[in-house]
Amino acid sequence: MEFTFKKDQEKDITIVKLSGNLLAEVESKDFLARMTDKINEGEVNFIFDLSDMQFINISGLGMLLTCLTKARKAGGEVILAEINKQLQDLLAMTKLSSIFTTSSSMKEAMQQFQTSA
Residue 83 included in any domain:
yes
Give the residue-averaged pLDDT of 85-113. Answer: 92
Q: How far apart are alpha carbons 38 and 14 in whole angstroms?
A: 9
pLDDT at 101: 94
Residue 117 included in any domain:
no
Question: What is the number of structural domains in the chain?
Answer: 1
Which pTM value belongs to this model? Answer: 0.92
pLDDT at 15: 96
Q: Which domain holds residue 86?
A: 2-111
> 28 falls in which pLDDT band (50, 70, 90)?
confident
CATH, residue 57: 3.30.750.24
Residue 25 included in any domain:
yes
88 to each of 30, 41, 112, how far by Cα in Å? 25, 31, 19
